[in-house]
């Protein structure tokens, strides 16, 4: 099949492109390289079935494809808050353009949505039936509301134009190919520990997150796209093992024993969700999927990846 991956040079997209090539598909990686990186896809360049297009999804695209994975969008709060108007455009105009492409080519299309559609949730763990608690005018809204609107568009194209859609809601995911300065908690803590800098916990560190290793995410993405039981989602994907941010900081320090870093506490950003943990009952039932990689195993691989950046600097 000819498969388009928007945001293909980013963290998740680069893993997806690699896996699709391994399965012998033709892969078109589309990216404007805002947060993505050519290094992430360098090893794929030799493959004749791999093609890269520099393009911004907020503009229409005319190509022929069988499947579309729509990932283009900065995912880290630091990056999506850098140019919030563009973030909303990427979510909304990007979705409209890619849905239009899917409509014209009759391609199946999967949306990389997010646990942020639940906002700062009052329901714990979060099930897909929960509609969320999102601030429409805060600093996270460009991303949260943008992604919510993208879900609306996907379901309206499904109802109105009978498009073959899939929607997954991704909870915090980590692994190699993350941007070392993207400001997300895993990359921050590991880079800080490797460079003997202070480990910056925002707030008192009691807020929780559940961390999914990227390989588990790629498994469910492909299962979701190719399922034959008519299940379109939305479906949660994440690792239900929940950690406080303080526990995460301690785990990272334990795994980098040579680090001289100390934990410090900084102000909690506005609207930072207090707790987050996916209920993955639906993914198990409909797709027979559950994550297999525990935090310690995933962190080991991620730390090894980040060491390369620090070693280069030395």
Alpha carbons 294 and 296: distance in angstroms, whole number: 6
**Residue listed under structure tokens 């880290």:** 76
Nearer to ligand NAD, 7 or 176 (CB): 7
Nearer to ligand UDP, 26 or 272 (CB): 272
Interface with ligand NAD (CB under 6 A): 6-7, 9-13, 31-36, 56-58, 71-75, 79, 90, 112, 114, 170, 172-173, 179
- Can residue 40 be called a binding residue for ligand UDP (CB under 6 A)? no
- Can residue 113 be called a binding residue for ligand UDP (CB under 6 A)? no
DSSP for 31-64 reads: E--SS--HHHHGGGTT-TTEEEEE--TTS-----
- Can residue 202 be called a binding residue for ligand UDP (CB under 6 A)? yes
Residue 74 near which of ligand NAD, ligand UDP, none (CB within 5-8 Å, type-dependent)? ligand NAD
DSSP for 293-314 reads: --HHHHHHHHHHHHHHHHHHH-
Interface region with ligand UDP, contact rule CB under 6 A, candidates 34-42, 53-61, 152-160, 183-191: 183-191
Residue 33 near which of ligand UDP, ligand NAD, none (CB within 5-8 Å, type-dependent)? ligand NAD
- Can residue 272 be called a binding residue for ligand UDP (CB under 6 A)? yes
Nearer to ligand NAD, 114 or 261 (CB): 114
- Can residue 67 be called a binding residue for ligand UDP (CB under 6 A)? no
Q: Which residues participate in catalysis according to the annotation?
A: 143
Within 13 Å and on the Cβ side, how many CA atoms surround 276? 27
- Can residue 269 be called a binding residue for ligand UDP (CB under 6 A)? yes
Nearer to ligand UDP, 27 or 75 (CB): 75
Determine how many CB atoms are found less than 10 A away from the CB of residue 184: 20
Q: Which two tokens stand for residue 230?
A: 């008519």
Residue 166 near which of ligand NAD, ligand UDP, none (CB within 5-8 Å, type-dependent)? none
Give phi and psi for 68, each to the nearest 5: -130, 125
- Can residue 166 be called a binding residue for ligand UDP (CB under 6 A)? no
CB 120 → ligand NAD: shortest distance, Å? 16
Q: Residue 174, SS3? A: strand
Contacts with ligand UDP, 229-258, as mask; x by CB under 6 A:
----------------x-------------
Q: Which of 269, 82, 79 is nearest to 183 (CA)?
A: 79
31: left (phi over 0), alpha (psi -120 to 50) or beta: beta
CB 147 → ligand NAD: shortest distance, Å? 7
Alpha carbons 218 and 171: distance in angstroms, whole number: 13
Nearer to ligand NAD, 162 or 297 (CB): 297
Give phi and psi for 256, each to the nearest 5: -125, 70
DSSP for 240-259 reads: --EEEHHHHHHHHHHHSTT-
Alpha carbons 303 and 311: distance in angstroms, whole number: 12
> Are the C-beta atoms of residues 225 and 108 closer than 8 Å to each other?
yes
Residue 56 near which of ligand NAD, ligand UDP, none (CB within 5-8 Å, type-dependent)? ligand NAD
Interface region with ligand UDP, contact rule CB under 6 A, candidates 90-98, 126-134, 181-189, 255-263: 181-189
Residue 245 near which of ligand NAD, ligand UDP, none (CB within 5-8 Å, type-dependent)? ligand UDP
Binding residues (CB under 6 A) for ligand UDP: these are 76-77, 172, 184-185, 188, 200-202, 207, 209, 245, 269, 272
């Amino acid at each position: 099949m000819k498969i388009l991956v928007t945001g293909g040079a980013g963290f998740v997209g680069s893993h997806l492109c690699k896996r699709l090539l391994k399965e012998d598909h033709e892969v078109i990686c589309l990216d404007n390289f805002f947060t993505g990186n050519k290094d992430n896809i360098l090893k794929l360049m030799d493959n004749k079935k791999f093609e890269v297009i520099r393009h911004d999804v907020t503009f229409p695209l005319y190509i022929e494809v069988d499947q579309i994975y729509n990932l283009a969008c900065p995912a880290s709060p630091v990056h999506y808050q850098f140019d919030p108007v563009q973030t909303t455009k990427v979510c909304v105009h990007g979705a409209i353009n890619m849905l239009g492409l899917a409509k014209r080519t009759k391609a199946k299309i999967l949306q990389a949505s997010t646990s942020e559609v639940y906002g700062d949730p009052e329901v714990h763990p979060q099930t897909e039936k929960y509609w969320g608690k999102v601030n429409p005018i805060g600093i996270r809204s460009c991303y949260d509301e943008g992604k919510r609107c993208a879900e609306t568009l996907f379901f309206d194209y499904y109802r109105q134009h009978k498009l073959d859609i899939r929607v997954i809601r991704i909870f915090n995911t980590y692994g190699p190919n993350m941007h070392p300065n993207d400001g997300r908690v895993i990359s921050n803590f590991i880079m800080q520990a490797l460079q003997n800098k202070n480990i910056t916990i925002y707030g008192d560190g009691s807020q929780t997150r559940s961390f999914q290793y990227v390989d588990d995410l790629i498994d469910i993405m492909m299962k979701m796209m190719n399922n034959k039981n008519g299940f379109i989602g939305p479906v949660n994907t994440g690792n239900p093992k929940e950690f406080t941010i303080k526990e995460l900081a301690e785990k990272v320090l334990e795994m980098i024993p040579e680090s001289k870093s100390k934990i410090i506490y900084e102000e909690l950003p506005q609207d930072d969700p207090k707790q987050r943990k996916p209920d993955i009952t639906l993914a198990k039932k409909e797709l027979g999927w559950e994550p297999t990689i525990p935090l310690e195993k995933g962190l080991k691989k991620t730390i090894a990846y980040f060491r390369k950046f620090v070693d280069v600097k030395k």
